[in-house]
């Protein structure tokens, strides 16, 4: 009986130990599995946190881009508004130019007519050159390849040249009509429109334009020295100085 009790006790002990070992193994397995699941869950949590941070950064970037786009949109709107105002202003200017052009074109023709009248009634000072200039202006007016602004500029330039003729001392070589069909080549000197002198190419004969008779009259040879000095000054051969010249004015013009 004692042997049987001892054996039974040993058997129970062994069974208990086996059961305990089995329980420990099961607990360890459960614990290991729990740790593994915890680690996996932590990895998922970490990945989720990283993804959330990435999404947050992306959202912030998108908000900044949206803000920039709003600023750019407002800028473009301002540009469009400004361009629209400019278009309106240009349209108004075009309308004004149309009416201005209608007034400027007749004015230019009248200015050319004024030049023709001036040359026809003026002293024979660079006559051929002035007539040629007016003819070029008349030929220019109907040309479509020349702007109205350029036409107006050239007409004003012609008036400026006419103004210079009346204020400067000048010298040129040209043909002068003595009487009837007789013409000679001469060096012509002018002091504004006050005095107009011609000298033959030999340099020994002089004529002065007489406004009253509208003809060239002989100048006394006693004035040769004074006249030659005036020619030298006009040719920039000597320094300017006081000179005496015959006056080509009528009594009314002198007054």
Q: Which residues pair with 186 in a beta bridge?
A: 174, 200
96 pLDDT more than 70 = yes
pLDDT of residue 15: 53
**Across the chain, what does the average pLDDT equal?**
84
Residue of higher predicted confidence among 213 and 187: 187
Percent of residues, the chain, with pLDDT higher than 70: 85
Q: Which residues contact 29 (CB under 8 A, 6 or more apart)?
A: none
pLDDT of residue 252: 45
How many of the other CB atoms lie within 10 Å of CB of 139?
A: 9
159-185: pLDDT as tens digits: 999 999 888 899 999 999 887 678 899
Cα–Cα distances in angstroms (integers) from residue 167 to residues 35, 119, 194, in the given order: 114, 16, 9
pLDDT band at 5 (very low <50, low <70, confident <90, very high): low
- CA end-to-end span of the chain, whole Å? 176
Residue of higher predicted confidence among 112 and 81: 112
pLDDT band at 1 (very low <50, low <70, confident <90, very high): low
Tokens of 100: 């201005």
pLDDT of residue 197: 94
pLDDT of residue 21: 58
Percent of residues, the chain, with pLDDT higher than 90: 37
Cα–Cα distances in angstroms (integers) from residue 171 to residues 178, 198, 229, in the given order: 19, 10, 13
222-247: pLDDT as tens digits: 889 999 999 999 999 999 888 888 88
Query: Phi and psi for 202 in degrees, rounded to 5?
Result: -75, -20
Question: CA nearest 127: which of 136, 137, 118?
Answer: 118
14-45: pLDDT as tens digits: 555 565 556 667 767 777 777 777 777 788 88
pLDDT of residue 229: 93
Q: Give the pLDDT mean for 191-197.
A: 91
Contact call for residues 124 and 209 (beta carbons, < 8 A): yes
pLDDT band at 255 (very low <50, low <70, confident <90, very high): very low
pLDDT band at 207 (very low <50, low <70, confident <90, very high): very high
Alpha carbons 253 and 255: distance in angstroms, whole number: 5
130-159: pLDDT as tens digits: 999 999 999 999 999 999 889 999 999 999
């Amino acid at each position: 009986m004692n042997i049987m009790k001892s054996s039974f006790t040993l058997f129970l002990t062994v069974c208990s130990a086996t059961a305990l070992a089995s329980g420990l193994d099961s607990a360890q397995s459960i614990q290991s599995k729990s740790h593994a699941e915890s680690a996996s869950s932590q990895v998922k949590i970490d990945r989720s946190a990283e993804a959330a941070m990435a999404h947050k950064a992306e959202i912030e970037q998108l908000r900044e881009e949206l803000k920039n786009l709003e600023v750019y949109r407002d800028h473009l709107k301002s540009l469009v508004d400004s361009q629209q105002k400019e278009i309106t202003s240009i349209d108004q200017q075009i309308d004004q130019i149309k009416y201005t052009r209608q007034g400027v074109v007749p004015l230019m023709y009248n200015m050319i007519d004024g030049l023709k009248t001036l040359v026809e009634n003026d002293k024979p000072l660079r006559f051929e050159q002035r007539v040629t200039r007016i003819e070029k202006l008349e030929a220019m007016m109907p040309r479509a390849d020349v702007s109205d602004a350029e036409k107006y500029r050239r007409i004003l330039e012609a008036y400026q040249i006419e103004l210079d003729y009346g204020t400067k001392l000048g010298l040129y070589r040209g043909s002068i009509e003595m009487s009837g069909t007789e013409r000679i080549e001469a060096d012509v000197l002018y002091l504004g429109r006050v005095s107009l002198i011609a000298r033959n190419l030999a340099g020994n004969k002089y004529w002065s334009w007489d406004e009253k008779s509208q003809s060239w009259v002989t100048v006394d040879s006693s004035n040769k020295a004074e006249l030659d000095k005036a020619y030298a000054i006009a040719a920039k051969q000597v320094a300017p100085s006081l000179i005496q010249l015959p006056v080509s004015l009528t009594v009314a013009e002198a007054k």
